[in-house]
A and B are shown apart, each in its own frame.
Chain A
């Protein structure tokens, strides 16, 4: 059907997924750092609380975009449902998205030609 070894959409989807994984992961670390300072160190300055809850809200919407990018890549790669769940967890488990992003990027690049639907 096509001479291209892979669906050209995969490259774009992979780039979007990687960018969102890094942004989501970074925001997630900020959310957890804020939670730690607030709940463990009991620092409840109202301005600080407003800032942390705003970061949490922004993270929520970044996570939505991350999921959209994730689902697109997942569909193009025809991965299993288990992997989608792990990828979705990447937005809520600290550091996970960085690890996944790195691993899946390698995997997509190494994917043999023709395994992807035209």
Chain B
């Protein structure tokens, strides 16, 4: 049962493709497990400058609880669609907070994206009517990826834009810099927006992503194993039944 060279090359190429695809999917899940985890770090609340500086990578600051003071800017607020809070379809309000110059750690003001709160998706939307100057505590969430899609659009509201992602990279186009690369989920909410509940235990989700990553890599390993065995077994003349019984 000697397979042709073309067949063997084909099987080898297929195995290589499977290895690359499974490896990439595994890596994607692995990164998801490590970057998408939204959970609150056990450390006590610190002033924001001790956790994160403007325009630097969110990295270890994600999940830290911070306090911050500043004023809301006039830059357009963002209504973020496609969210779920306690099983309810929700819209988040994200506003730009100008953090006081003496609190940023750089000596100049910087803009922090803040999730003010949420409302059920079907309720009327509008800007936040809280005071202009606020003192907030909350925890830092990782930035979300920018989307090319324009997202679900609600009805136009003055000084508000609709989006389906909370991406500082995207916000930087309309908000004054320098921008923080993490997003503050505020504990206070506002008179008209409910604060987000504490994040669900994400360890389970995390573990799930790690397990899925490992699973993809096992699939890749299986594909290579099968290909190697098949090529080996089909590269020599198999013994005939008579020979094998002799």
Chain B residues with CB under 8 A of A74? 226
Chain A CB within 8 A of B229 CB: yes
A92 → chain B, closest Cβ, in Å? Answer: 12
Complex Cα distance, B222 from A74, in Å, reads 13
User: Is there an interface contact between A71 and B226, defined as CB atoms closer than 8 Å?
Assistant: yes
Which residue of chain B is the closest to A80 with respect to CB atoms?
B230
- Digitize B207-246: 1 where CB-to-A-CB distance is under 8 Å, 0 elsewhere: 0100110010011001001100110010000110100111
User: Is there an interface contact between A71 and B87, defined as CB atoms closer than 8 Å?
Assistant: no
User: Is there an interface contact between B226 and A84, defined as CB atoms closer than 8 Å?
Assistant: yes
Query: Given A44-B87, A71-B222, A71-B225, are A57 and B212 also a contact pair (CB < 8 Å)?
Result: yes
User: Is there an interface contact between A64 and B241, defined as CB atoms closer than 8 Å?
Assistant: no
User: Is there an interface contact between A114 and B215, defined as CB atoms closer than 8 Å?
Assistant: no
- Which of chain A's residues 50-80 have a Cβ closer than 8 Å to chain B? 53, 57, 60-61, 64, 67-68, 71, 74-75, 78
Complex Cα distance, B11 from A114, in Å, reads 27
User: Is there an interface contact between B11 and A117, defined as CB atoms closer than 8 Å?
Assistant: no
Complex Cα distance, B239 from A68, in Å, reads 26
Complex Cα distance, B246 from A60, in Å, reads 44
Which residue of chain B is the closest to A117 with respect to CB atoms?
B244
Complex Cα distance, B229 from A46, in Å, reads 45
User: Is there an interface contact between B230 and A81, defined as CB atoms closer than 8 Å?
Assistant: yes
Complex Cα distance, B241 from A81, in Å, reads 21
User: Is there an interface contact between A64 and B218, defined as CB atoms closer than 8 Å?
Assistant: yes
User: Is there an interface contact between B222 and A67, defined as CB atoms closer than 8 Å?
Assistant: yes
Chain A residues with CB under 8 A of B241? 114-115
Contact of B11 among A57, A60, A81 (CB under 8 A): A81
- Which of chain B's residues 180-200 have a Cβ closer than 8 Å to chain A? none
Chain B CB within 8 A of A118 CB: yes
Which residue of chain B is the closest to A118 with respect to CB atoms?
B244
Complex Cα distance, B208 from A58, in Å, reads 10
Chain B residues with CB under 8 A of A118? 244
Chain A residues with CB under 8 A of B225? 71
Complex Cα distance, B245 from A1, in Å, reads 5
Chain A residues with CB under 8 A of B222? 67-68, 71
Chain B residues with CB under 8 A of A115? 241
A31 → chain B, closest Cβ, in Å? Answer: 14
- Digitize B137-171: 1 where CB-to-A-CB distance is under 8 Å, 0 elsewhere: 00000000000000000000000000000000000
User: Is there an interface contact between A57 and B208, defined as CB atoms closer than 8 Å?
Assistant: yes
User: Is there an interface contact between B212 and A60, defined as CB atoms closer than 8 Å?
Assistant: yes
Chain A residues with CB under 8 A of B219? 64, 67
User: Is there an interface contact between A117 and B239, defined as CB atoms closer than 8 Å?
Assistant: yes
Which residue of chain A is the closest to B86 with respect to CB atoms?
A46
- Digitize B97-132: 1 where CB-to-A-CB distance is under 8 Å, 0 elsewhere: 000000000000000000000000000000000000
Chain A residues with CB under 8 A of B226? 71, 74, 81, 84
- Which of chain A's residues 13-50 have a Cβ closer than 8 Å to chain B? 44-46
- Digitize A72-111: 1 where CB-to-B-CB distance is under 8 Å, 0 elsewhere: 0011001001001000000000000000000000000000
Complex Cα distance, B239 from A39, in Å, reads 53
Complex Cα distance, B207 from A53, in Å, reads 13
Q: Which 3 A-B pairs have the closest CB atoms?
A: A114-B241, A46-B87, A60-B215
